[in-house]
């Protein structure tokens, strides 16, 4: 087999993240995006140190378990790659992918629970859409990045992961931008205006936040400054099923393709209110909040069920975001310490604890590794919920150094979870069980929870 050669191969299994694996001439070949049981045409793209990778060219034969896709944007936006399987089949694939990842690393862990998302459609409470070109120098569009393309943006007016309010906002804001002749931002020249549109909607209260991320440059070819009041009037005139609570203008003159910058509140307040597990959370634009609210209740409940006893205990909520896990623990615990480095999230966590009348929580702003040493109390319970990049070696070792019997690890990336578990293993902690909680139906996203137990020497 040579680089560039075309192959036809049957996919035997999948490994996280969304890599199909098949055998040809006694060799194992990996193809990103290929699904179990599909017959694939691919082209060998990499051959290095015994590993062979191929690029997916065509699905020659679908898996017998596959059905028609339900979304007209399938394979264009690249979001819901598992949608040709039924819901149960898709959960099996996620479980198999995680199993293969751990098996390949020689890490033995039973996957004892797969928890369904309460909602399979319209479950997302947040979307970040990009303004851009439908194709190079093509017309303005607003939506998701096209599958396999970093620059082109595909309009997704029928997306099934969000409800009709999101779809309405998406359609209408694009049409507004076109009629007002608003300029898209050009990443190469750093000229222009429109960058992103973030929409958040609370599942429990129906409150909606709309944040336009744009530069402070002229907004149209006539050189006019952006008229925020006009934009507010237009958005307030739309017919939502929820309630418009917040319109924000994020002034983003930076170079990075991310939503960042000073926020001007154009209408309402700068947060929306969500209720979760009997608690109230004010959610601000920059604060992390699980994107599937009802799924998050199952996620947190599954994590909490792994902690045998919190009564009168000192609990650490590391990578605490808006302090959701910490506040759930605070109902039973003696004291809770949360550490989070986004200051807006920490302020929100403090504000939320006060709204929830929890006076036993301390939320600390800063890097988890650096701030741990500043806490004088020793923990009885530790729950970690790091970002996709994981905890990393030094923070993992610092957490293990507390030498408590059990630690609960919540992860949105099984690959970095595995890396951190290998570090924990060197410190004497082994994973007792792994649960998958489906927070992202139809997509390749996997949320897992692991209970770590200290080995008795």
Residues that bind ligand SAM (CB under 6 A): 288-290, 319-322, 324-325, 339-342, 345, 367-368, 385-387, 412
The two structure tokens encoding residue 434: 């792994």
Q: Smaller CB distance to ligand SAM: residue 56 or 345?
A: 345
CB of 345 to ligand SAM, least distance (A): 5
Q: Smaller CB distance to ligand SAM: residue 101 or 408?
A: 408
The DSSP secondary structure of 287-323, one letter per residue, reads: S---SBHHHHHHHHHHHHHT-S--TT-EEEEES-TTT
Listing from the earlier edge strand, what are the strands of the sheet with 6-10?
6-10, 39-48, 51-61, 27-32, 19-24, 13-15
Q: Where are the beta strands (DSSP E) in 36-186?
A: 39-48, 51-61, 111-115, 126-133, 140-145, 153-155
Residue (of 104, 125, 50, 172) closest to 297 by Cα position: 125
CB of 412 to ligand SAM, least distance (A): 6
CB of 145 to ligand SAM, least distance (A): 22
CB closest to ligand SAM, residue no? 321
CB of 448 to ligand SAM, least distance (A): 12
Q: Smaller CB distance to ligand SAM: residue 61 or 367?
A: 367
CB of 129 to ligand SAM, least distance (A): 21
Determine which helix (DSSP H) or strand (DSSP E) holds 14, and give its type and residue range.
strand 13-15
Q: Smaller CB distance to ligand SAM: residue 325 or 358?
A: 325
Residue pair 447/299 in contact by the 8 Å Cβ criterion: yes
CB of 375 to ligand SAM, least distance (A): 13
Q: Smaller CB distance to ligand SAM: residue 340 or 351?
A: 340
Residues 6+ apart with CB under 8 A from 354: none
Which of 71, 77, 219, 412 is an active site residue? 412
The neighbouring-strand residues paired with 450 are 409, 434
Residues 6+ apart with CB under 8 A from 208: 165, 169, 199, 200, 201, 202, 240, 242, 243, 244, 245, 246, 272
Q: Smaller CB distance to ligand SAM: residue 102 or 289?
A: 289
User: Does residue 265 carry a catalytic annotation?
Assistant: no
The neighbouring-strand residues paired with 27 are 24
Q: For residues 146 and 78, give the distance between their C-alpha atoms in angstroms, rounded to a whole number.
A: 7
Residues identified as active-site? 412
């Amino acid at each position: 087999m040579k680089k560039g050669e075309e192959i036809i191969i049957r996919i035997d299994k999948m490994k996280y993240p969304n890599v199909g694996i098949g055998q040809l001439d006694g060799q194992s070949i990996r193809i990103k995006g290929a699904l179990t049981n599909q017959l694939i045409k691919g082209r060998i793209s990499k051959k290095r140190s015994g590993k062979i990778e191929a690029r997916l060219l065509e699905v020659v034969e679908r898996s017998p378990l596959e059905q028609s896709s339900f979304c007209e944007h399938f394979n264009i936006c690249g979001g819901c790659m598992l949608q040709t399987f039924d819901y149960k089949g898709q959960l099996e694939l996620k479980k198999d992918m995680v199993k293969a990842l751990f098996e390949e690393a020689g890490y033995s862990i039973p996957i004892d629970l797969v928890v369904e998302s309460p909602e399979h459609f319209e479950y997302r409470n947040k979307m970040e859409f990009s303004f851009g070109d439908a194709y190079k120098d093509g017309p303005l569009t607003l939506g998701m990045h096209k599958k396999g393309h970093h620059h082109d943006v595909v309009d997704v007016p029928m997306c099934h992961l969000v409800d009709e309010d999101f779809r309405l906002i998406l359609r209408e804001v694009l049409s507004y931008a076109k009629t007002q002749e608003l300029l898209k931002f050009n990443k190469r020249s750093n000229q222009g205006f429109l960058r992103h549109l973030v929409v958040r909607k609370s599942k429990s209260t129906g409150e909606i936040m709309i944040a336009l991320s744009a530069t402070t440059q002229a907004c149209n070819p006539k050189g006019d400054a952006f008229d925020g009041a006009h934009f507010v009037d237009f958005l307030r005139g739309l017919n939502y099923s929820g309630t418009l609570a917040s319109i924000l203008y994020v002034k983003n003159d930076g170079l990075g393709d991310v939503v960042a910058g000073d926020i001007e509140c154009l209408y309402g307040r700068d947060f929306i209110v969500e209720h979760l597990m009997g608690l109230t959370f004010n959610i601000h634009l920059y604060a992390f909040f699980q994107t599937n609210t009802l799924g998050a209740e199952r996620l947190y409940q599954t994590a909490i069920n792994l902690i045998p006893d919190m009564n009168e205990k000192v609990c650490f909520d590391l990578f605490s975001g808006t302090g959701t896990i910490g506040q759930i623990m605070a109902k039973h615990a003696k004291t809770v310490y949360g550490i989070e480095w986004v200051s807006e999230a920490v302020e929100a966590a403090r504000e939320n604890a006060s709204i929830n009348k929890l006076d036993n929580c301390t939320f600390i702003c800063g890097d988890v590794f650096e701030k741990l040493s500043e806490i004088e109390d020793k923990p009885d319970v530790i729950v970690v919920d790091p970002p996709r990049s994981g905890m990393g070696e030094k923070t993992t070792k610092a957490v293990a150094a507390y030498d408590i019997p059990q630690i609960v690890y919540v992860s949105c990336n099984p690959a970095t979870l595995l890396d951190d578990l290998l570090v924990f293993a060197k410190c004497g902690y082994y994973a007792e069980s792994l649960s998958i909680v489906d927070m992202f139906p139809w997509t390749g996203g996997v949320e897992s929870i692991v209970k770590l137990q200290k080995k008795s020497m």
